[in-house]
Structure 1
Amino acid sequence: MHQARERAILQTACDLLGSKSFDCMTMDDVAGGVGIAKASLYKHFGSKEDLCCAAMVKVLHLVNAHVAGLDPSLAAVDKLRAVVRWSLERLLEGEMPLLPSHNSTLRAVLMSNKDYADGVVLLSDTLGEWIVQAQTEGVLDPQLPPLVVLYTLYARACDTVVGFLQESGLYKNDEIMDLVLRTCFDGLRAR
C-alpha cells in the first residue's frame, strides 16, 4: 500500500511538473491529485523539492531504460532520433517534467542528488558517443560542438513549439513529433 501510494504521488508530481512548473506546483496540488491528505504526503516526502527531485529521477531512469533498450544495430542518428521521439511523446502526454529555472531551489537539490547526477552523466555520455559517431559518419554537422548538439536534443524535451502545435489542433501528436524531429535533425533549409 505504501509503495502504491508513493508511485501515485510520483506520477501525480510528474504530471503536474509537466503541466505546471516547479515554482507553480504546490504540495496541495499533489495531495489533491492523489486524493490524500497533505500530512500523508509529507510522510513520503519531506518537502516539495524532495518530491520533485524523486519525480525527476524517475523520469531519468525511464529515459535511461529506453536508451538501454534500443536496438544496438541501429545507426547512431537513429538512436538519437528514437530518444528525442520518446521525450516528445512524454511531452505531448504531459508526462515530461518542465526543467527547473536556473534560480530554482529544485535545481540545487537535483545537482546534489547522486541518483540524478549519475543518471544525467550516464545519459549524456551515451548520447555524446552517438553524437560523435553520427558526426564521424557525416550524418550530423561535424562543425557543431557535440555539447551544442547534446543540449539541442535535451531542449526538445521542453520545446514550447510542441505545446503550440498541440494547442492549435492542426496536427495529430504523431505529426507533431515528425515535424519537430524533422526540424531538429534536418533543419529548416529547403532540400
Structure 2
Amino acid sequence: MSIFGKLSFKDQAFKLRENAILDAATSVLGSKGYDLMTMDDVAGLVGISKPSLYKHFKSKEDLVGETMIRLIDGAVEQLAQLDDIASPRGKLAALLEWALRVRLDGGLPFLPATSAHVRDMLMRNIKYVTRVLKLNGQLEKLVKEAQKKGEIDAALPSDVVLFSYYARTCDPAVEYLQKFSKMGNEDIVRHMLQVAFQGFVAGSATP
C-alpha cells in the first residue's frame, strides 16, 4: 500500500501539492540557480499563492534543502535497486547513468558545487547531511570493492575516484552537449559514461 492510502483526502492533497512544489523548485533551480531563484518563481510555476507556499516551506533555504534531500533519497533508492548487478563498478556506472538521465530531464546534480552559499546552507541542514553521509558511505564502499577486484585502478586514492565520480554528476558538459551538439540524450549518456570510466583512450569498451 502506498503512503497516500494511509492519508486522509486533505493530507493527500497537501502531499501532492508539496511534491508539485518540489518539482517546481527543481525546475527553477536548474534554470536560474539558487541566487536568482525566488519563492514567487516557485509559487507561480505551481499556480499557488506565496502564502500557500509558505504553509509547506517556511523559507527559500528550507525549500532548497528539501529539494536536495529528495534528490539524494532518489539516488539511495536507485542504488538499492541495483542488487542484480554483481560488479561494483557496474553498480557505479548504473547509478551514474541514472544521475545523468536526471540531469538531462531537468533535474539537479548530486552536489551544489557551484555555490559556496548553498554548500554552507546545506551543511547546516542535519537531515541533508545525514542523507549525504549515508550515500557517500555506500559509494565509497563500492569504489573500494571495485579497486580490490581490479575493476578500478587501485593505485588511485579512493577519495580521488569518489570525488571525480561526484564531479561527473555535476559536469556542465551534459548541458552543453544537450544544448549545442546534435546528439540525443541516449548518445550523451553513453559517451559521458565512457569518458567517466575509460577516459579518452581509443578502443575503450563501455562500462
Instruction: Give the TM-score category using the shorter length.
Output: over 0.9
- Shift in Å, 1:159: 1.0
Deviation track 1:39-92 (CA, whole Å, cap 9, x = no partner) reads 211121111111000000011111100011112542000000011001000000
Q: How far apart are the structure 2 equivalents of 1:113 and 1:122?
A: 14
Which residue of the partner structure matches residue 126 of structure 1?
A: 138
Match of 1:61 in 2: 73
Q: Deviations over 1:82-129 (max 9, x none)?
A: 11001000000011257154531x323311222211111111111111
For residues 130-157 of structure 1, give each alpha carbon's deviation from its aligned partner in whole angstroms, at most 9, with x where no partner exists: 1111111111111211111111111122
Match of 1:103 among 101, 111, 116: 116
- Give percent identity, aligned residues only: 41
Query: Is 2:113–2:170's contact at 8 Å kept on the other side of the alignment?
Result: no
- Show the counterpart of 1:136: 148
Change (3 A) 1:157 1:19: farther
Pairing 1:149–2:161 present: yes
Q: Say whether the 8 Å CA contact 1:128–1:150 is kept in structure 2.
A: yes
The answer to which structure, 1 or 2, has the higher relative contact order (CA under 8 A, 6+ apart) is 1
The whole-number CA distance in structure 1 between the counterparts of 2:52 and 2:113 is: 25
Alpha-carbon distance, 1:169 to partner: 4.0
Is residue 33 from structure 1 mapped to residue 45 from structure 2 by the alignment? yes
Root-mean-square deviation (Å): 1.5
Structure 2 residue ranges without an equivalent (≥5) = 1-12
Residue 21 of structure 2 corresponds to residue 5 of structure 1? no
- Aligned residue identity for 2:96: V
Residue 65 of structure 2 aligns with an amino acid whose one-letter code is: C
- TM-score normalized by the length of structure 2: 0.86
How many angstroms apart in 2 are the aligned matches of 1:153 and 1:68? 18
* Residue of structure 1 equivalent to 2:87: 75
Question: So what's the TM-score if we normalise by structure 1?
Answer: 0.93
Contact persistence 2:26–2:107 (CA under 8 A): yes
Aligned residues: 190
User: Residues 166-185 of structure 1: matches in 2 within 5 Å?
Assistant: 166-185=178-197
- In structure 1, the residue matched to 2:5 is none
CA contact 1:61–1:119 (8 Å) conserved in 2: yes
